[in-house]
Amino acid sequence: MAVFDDDDRPKRKIQHEIGQDLSLISVTELNERIALLREEIARLEADIAKKQSSRASADQFFKK
């Protein structure tokens, strides 16, 4: 039986479920989840801006 070093084990993907019980989650993991959620918010905001720009261009083109 092989002994695994902690660095060789697959990293567990951080996921966050809205409303999840946070009492068993460490401060480090909470900070990781906050960073993950901030990245997702930035991604969503960038997509909104892209779509609004496309919409504004289409409205200008069709003189809506």
Domain boundaries, the chain: 26-64
CA dist 44 and 37 (Å) reads 10
pLDDT tens profile 18-54: 899 999 999 999 999 999 999 999 999 999 999 999 8
Amino acid 61: pLDDT: 80
Amino acid 5: pLDDT: 63
The answer to whether the pTM exceeds 0.75 is no
Stretch 9-13: mean pLDDT: 71
- CA–CA–CA angle 31, 4, 30 (5° rounding): 10
- Taking 90 as the threshold, does the pLDDT of residue 4 lie above it? no
Amino acid 15: pLDDT: 81
